[in-house]
Chains A and B, each alone.
Chain A
Amino acid sequence: MPKLTIDGQEIEVPAGSTVLQACEAAGREIPVFCFHPRLQIAGNCRMCLVEMEKSPKPIASCAMPAGDGMVIKTDTPQVHKARKGVLELLLINHPLDCPICDQGGECDLQDITLFYGPDSSRFAENKRPVADKYLGPLISTHMTRCIHCTRCIRFLDEIAGVEELGACDRGEHMEITTWIESALTSEMSGNIIDLCPVGALNSKPYEYRARTWELRKTESIDVMDAVGSNIRVDARGSEVMRILPRLHEDVNEEWISDKTRFAYDGLKKRRLDVPFVKKDGKLATSTWRAAFAAIRDELKDVPGNRIGFVIGDQVDCETMVLVKDLATALGSPNVDCRQDGTKLTAAARGAYLFNTTIAGIEQADACLLIGTNPRHEAPLVNARLRKRSRMGGFKVGRIGEPFDLTYPVTDLGAGGQTLRELSDGKHSFAEVLENASRPMLILGQGPLARADGAAILALAGEVAERFGMVGDDWNGFNVLHTAASRVGGLDLGLVPGEGGLDVAGMLQPGALDVLFLVGADEVEAKGLDGTFVVYMGTHGDRGVHGADVILPGAAFTEKHGTYVNTEGRPQRAKLAVFPPGEAKEDWKILRALSEVLGLTLPLNTMGDVRRRMAEIAPSLARIDEIEPAPFGGFGVAGDIGAEPFASPLRDFYLTNPIARASSVMQECSTLFVQGGSTGATGTHG
């Protein structure tokens, strides 16, 4: 614990701290550009210079380890002069285009220059021209603004694990580039936009659309995957302008995936904004009153077991509470939140959660991936695994398809056979798990959604037990979800009741008279001729095909809602903009429908709904807290088919109705998944 003096104030900092961190601990603000707490130290911007006693020159505080007895001064004429000098040099080649720069208003260079910079430049020559680079459909570049902090390079190397950016040439000619003008292939590349301290890297879809100070900022939760990344939704008027990450150390740190960041344009396209009712075989715009009447007429005299509810992947818990109560009121046991047919049950919470927790991955020392591709199913879980992998002493084995996860992975085998061998201790990787003190496994949705999913779950449970993955202070059994609503749905018990049908059963022709698709777009409800299909959701996506009544709902940015992430962490998304047209918040739609049906649910306010939610699942009332779940209850042992395990996601960019409606995500899919070209050239964008 070195003790140093900063501006006359004595302070003790943890060993291994830098002078910069010590200064911050002492409450001194040191301006920085290249330094970032989550990236390795580069020390190349020289903005953080401070004075150190006995040193003839100012020191770069970000790169200087704090030593015992150091005397640091941060507020002396020399320091001020150094900062002015550094800024003057940085501004020599930096264009004065702040008025049109997207970063204007949230620019480190702008802010720091205002506080510490010189008031004029002595530089009369021409500024350096730099050609803009093509980095793909997500990131636009203005390379003349680049100050070469290299944060983007370091992020891609260290966090994203995709070494594609570099600094070519040197000195005055140095340029940040991919050299060969190719798009960045990382699914987390958008984070370099946030990291860029100037306006060199911008969001391509957001470019020139808004100024930061016009935006209304709402803190919310992402629903593109089951990680529950904390986000900030920036809106202007009725339009979501952009989505940025928010800090949550235990979930997403300060990163988000590209899908989270860029799919928001899908919120404005293909939206359902009025109710539709099918007339003479054609959907026609209608009114709420008429749509409810059509449903009421259809439900007359239909027995409960002929009515079914399928819950989609982005449905909030409040809506699911209403679905549950409405189904009970209608006497329907046919309720299912597992659109993909996964064999998880609501009974054993410990068997469907990511028990280790995302932050807990950093404590693990061995990991077994079973039929999952975390890089696409949950990019931020993958980023955590990579972070752990980089710390060293972490072995990862995988059963399933080979895929570059950006860290070393040992491929063990393709399917159930290998898992069986492992559980019998016959496989060579068994030794690794045996010797690990905190081993973990991650079970993906691919194997669980198979017909033999329950047996795979049971076998995975056996493996966890055999290798001591669960102890008093450690639970290494993890299920990785891909749907934001899934854990909430299971917590609320939205699975078929006694004698009830599951999703596959409900979709059998003739099985039901009335089918409610609550935001369910991943199921095919087309050939159900005898069934009256009510679709409630946001987009004209797969779910509306074959629908007889369409009720327009609110997307995740348009309502207050609770989402439970794969760890079992309930978090609240907030309303950022109002739903378009006549669309309404989903729980209100169901509440109104119940009244029309004469089964009025006594849930009149959000408060009522949340109280009811806490009644059904008390853990959901404790926001941002994970209720540890007991180990056990893993499926039913049985035979496992020989087919190899596969990840359920074929296309990372198009996994839900919002993303499918997004032209940005479509472009990414064309470029990265289908391997096509968007006709980009060096001057593109």
Chain B
Amino acid sequence: MSFAPDVETFSFPDELRPEIDRILAKYPEARKQSAVMPLLHLAQRQHGGWLPKAALDHVAEFLEMPKIRVYEVASFYDMYNTKPTGRVQVRVCTTTPCWLCGSDDIVRAAKDTLGLEIGESSEDGRFFLREFECLGACCNAPMMWIDDDYYEDLDYAKAVAVLEALKRGETPEPGPQSGRKGSEPKGERKTLVEAGRSSRTPKQPEAATQPSSAPVPDETPVRKGRPEDHQHEPTDPIAEAADEQVGKVKNGSLGDEAVAIDPEPGRTTTTKKDAD
């Protein structure tokens, strides 16, 4: 393997056509230039992690926009690479929260394991190591972003393990490497442990008492958060109150899905409720 070559011509293959159409359908015909960013991502993925000039020109032609406008976009955003890079893109977050939690170690681990300095690609074209500004996973700091996945709660050894696995051609399990789920608190629960003081008892409108009229979401409920986030002491009165409400809904037609009706009409959110 080596870097994806700089090419003279570039075009989207027919297989990508449905995906391109799906992207273009989001924007009015007259404003199709708005699709420049998703199409650049598509092109970058197709071309092994970076965008040769031919790809930028092709996107410009494809969207009928001046080339310089595409160059501006591609150079403005950090996640487009306009110079050859390795295929596996290893980005270590080094912004303050990660740094405080030891991102220096992660950088060191990456340098040691991959044998690369920041901003370098390996000679065989497999890995590209770079620093990145905050990736929004501060609650799981420190972290790395490798291709499409976040590897969180790292320390030197765990980072080395992830990268070694990648080097062996395996795909390590993404997410926190510390064993915790998502960004649940480390250790014992420390908030909402006291009983009865809160006035924030969930208010449910009539819908809760007339389950049959509760709006039923017409799509598969989106999982928000992780089920374990809702684990609690059974004696927690707030949780009990919530359970009571949920229970009513549960008795209706929604199975284990809790429906919270937003005061704003037309908006319905669902949360998955685990059975206690």
Residues of A within 8 A of B (CB): 163-170, 178-180
Q: A163-B66, A163-B69, A168-B76 are in contact. List 13 more A-B contacts (CB 8 A).
A: A163-B68, A164-B66, A166-B68, A166-B69, A166-B72, A167-B72, A168-B71, A169-B76, A170-B75, A178-B68, A179-B67, A179-B68, A179-B75
Q: Smallest CB–CB gap between A600 and chain B, Å?
A: 63
How would you classify the secondary structure of chain B's contact residues: helix, strand, loop or mixed? helix
> CB-CB < 8 A to B69: which residues of A?
163, 166
A623 → chain B, closest Cβ, in Å? 42
Cβ A168 vs Cβ B72 within 8 A: yes
CA distance A178 to B70 in the complex (A): 11
Q: Which 10 pairs between the two chains have the least Cβ-Cβ distance?
A: A163-B66, A166-B68, A168-B75, A179-B71, A166-B72, A169-B75, A170-B76, A168-B72, A168-B71, A163-B68
A292 CA to B66 CA in the complex, in Å?
A: 60
Please indicate the chain B residues that have their CB under 8 angstroms from the CB of A163 in the complex: 66, 68-69
Interfacial chain A residues near B67, Cβ < 8 Å: 179-180
* Cross-chain pairs A/B with CB under 8 angstroms, 15 sampled: A163-B66, A164-B66, A164-B68, A165-B68, A166-B68, A166-B69, A166-B72, A167-B72, A168-B71, A168-B76, A170-B75, A170-B76, A179-B71, A179-B75, A180-B71
Residue of A nearest to B57 (CB): A180
Contact count band on B: under 10
B46 to chain A, nearest CB (A): 21
B75 cross-chain contacts in A, Cβ below 8 A: 168-170, 179
Residues in A with CB closer than 8 Å to B53 are 180
- B residues less than 8 Å from A178 (CB atoms): 68
Q: B57: shortest Cβ distance to chain A, in Å?
A: 9
Query: Least Cβ distance of B180 to chain A in Å?
Result: 36
Q: Which B residues lie within 8 Å of A168 (CB)?
A: 71-72, 75-76
Q: Contacts of B71 on A, CB cut-off 8 Å?
A: 166, 168, 179-180
Q: Which residue of B lies closest to A164 (CB)?
A: B68
| Residue in B closest to A175 when the chains form the complex, CB atoms | B75
Contact indicator per residue, chain B 193-223, by CB within 8 Å of chain A (1) or not (0): 0000000000000000000000000000000
Q: Report B172-200 residues with CB < 8 Å from chain A CB.
A: none
**Chain A's nearest CB lies how many Å from the CB of B260?**
37
Q: Report A-chain residues with C-beta under 8 Å of the C-beta of B66.
A: 163-164
CB nearest to A165 among chain B residues = B68
A494 → chain B closest CB, angstroms: 46
**Restricting to B144-172, which residues have a CB under 8 Å from any CB of A?**
none
Query: What's the least CB distance linking A392 to chain B, in Å?
Result: 13
Contacts of B68 in A (CB 8 A): 163-166, 178-179
In angstroms, Cα B76 to Cα A165, docked, is: 15
Q: A114 CA to B67 CA in the complex, in Å? A: 39
Q: How far does the Cβ of A38 sit from chain B's closest Cβ, in whole Å? A: 21
How long is the Cα–Cα vector from A129 to B72 in the complex, in angstroms? 20
A180 to B71 Cα, complex, angstroms: 10
Tell me which residues from 39 to 75 in chain B have a Cβ below 8 Å from any Cβ of chain A: 53, 66-69, 71-72, 75
Docked CA distance A164–B72 (Å): 11
| CA–CA, A167 and B68, complex, Å | 9
Chain A neighbourhood of B76, CB < 8 A: 168-170
